[in-house]
Structure formats: C-alpha cells, structure tokens
Structure 1
C-alpha cells in the first residue's frame, strides 16, 4: 500500500515536471517572455525620453523667437542682417608640417 502511494506521488511529480519543462507554456517560454518584456520596457523608456525632448523643443519653438533663430543658424546657416559671418577652415596635418 505504501509503495503504491509513493509510486502514484512519483508519477504525479513526473507529470508536473513534464508540464513545467516541456508543456505549453513551459518555463523556457516564460523566461523568454520576461526577457522580451524587459527589452520592451527599456525601449519604451528611451522613446519616452525622446518624446519628452521633442515636446520641450516644440514648446520652445512655439513660445520663443530665440529657438527659431538658433535653429535657423545651426541647421540652415542663416545670419541676421548686419552680422559678419566668419568661416574657419582647418588645415590638413600634411599641410601644417610644411612651411
């Protein structure tokens, strides 16, 4: 009787272990899903930070002329009337060593 009970418990344990490791969903799939969730959270965090920067830039562009002016200067190379534009060109290393 005692051996039959142990045999039944061992079979039950084997069945549960099979289901845990090889069934659907199994433990490996759960680990993969947890890793995918972590990666997605990291990506979401990066995208949220980017969205915050873009929102701040949009608000700055809506509010002030300085932001628009700065963007025109840096991205388009525009200058204001009456300003003098100086362009500095660095020499190559080979030209610097020659007198």
Structure 2
C-alpha cells in the first residue's frame, strides 16, 4: 500500500505543476500576452520619443531664429511684409 502512495503523490504534484505552467500566473500564455503588450508599449514610446524630438527641434528653431517665426506667421496667419504683394491662387 505504501509503495503506491508515493507514485500517486508524485503524479499529483506533476499535474499541479503542469496546471500552473499552462493556466496560472506566469504561465506560458500569460508571458506571451505580456511580451506582446511590452512590444506595443515600446513602439508607442518610440513614436512619442520621435514626436518629442521633432517638437524640441521646432522649439529650438523658434527660439534661435526669426526665419522660422516669419515662416509660421506667413503660413498660419497670412502675414505680408510692407510693399509686398500677396497673391492667393485657389483651385
């Protein structure tokens, strides 16, 4: 009788470990989901970093030179210099 209990206990422990491996916290599917979420977050961080670099460059240009300010004023506000003729072409 005693010789049967040990293998049964070992099989039950093996089944419990397999259950944990496939369905519990830290299981194979759980790790795969977390890796996928991490990849999406890294991609979003990369896009945000690139956007930040563009904005920093634009701010630097605005702080350092009037050419960029003038260009934006012309494009966004329709600024015209004195003695300058503004021609708008519509299609």
How many positions carry a matched residue from both structures? 89
Q: Is structure 2 residue 49 aligned with structure 1 residue 61?
A: no
Deviation, structure 1 residue 82: 1.2
Q: Following the alignment from structure 1 to structure 2, what is the Cα–Cα distance between the partners of residues 53 and 70? A: 17
Deviation, structure 1 residue 7: 5.0
Q: Following the alignment from structure 1 to structure 2, what is the Cα–Cα distance between the partners of residues 23 and 44? A: 29
Deviation, structure 1 residue 80: 1.1
Gaps of 5+ in 2: none
Gaps of 5+ in 1: 91-99
What TM-score do you get using the length of structure 1 for normalisation?
0.77
Deviation, structure 1 residue 6: 5.8
Q: Is structure 2 residue 74 aligned with structure 1 residue 70?
A: no
3-state DSSP of counterpart to 2:71: helix
Mapping 1:9-88, distance limit 5 Å: 9-88=10-89
Structure 2 partner of 1:95 = none
3-state DSSP of counterpart to 2:26: coil
Q: Following the alignment from structure 1 to structure 2, what is the Cα–Cα distance between the partners of residues 43 and 52? A: 14
Deviation, structure 1 residue 25: 3.2
Task: Give deviations 1:49-81, integer Å, cap 9, x for gaps.
Answer: 000000000000000000000000111111111
3-state DSSP of counterpart to 2:31: helix
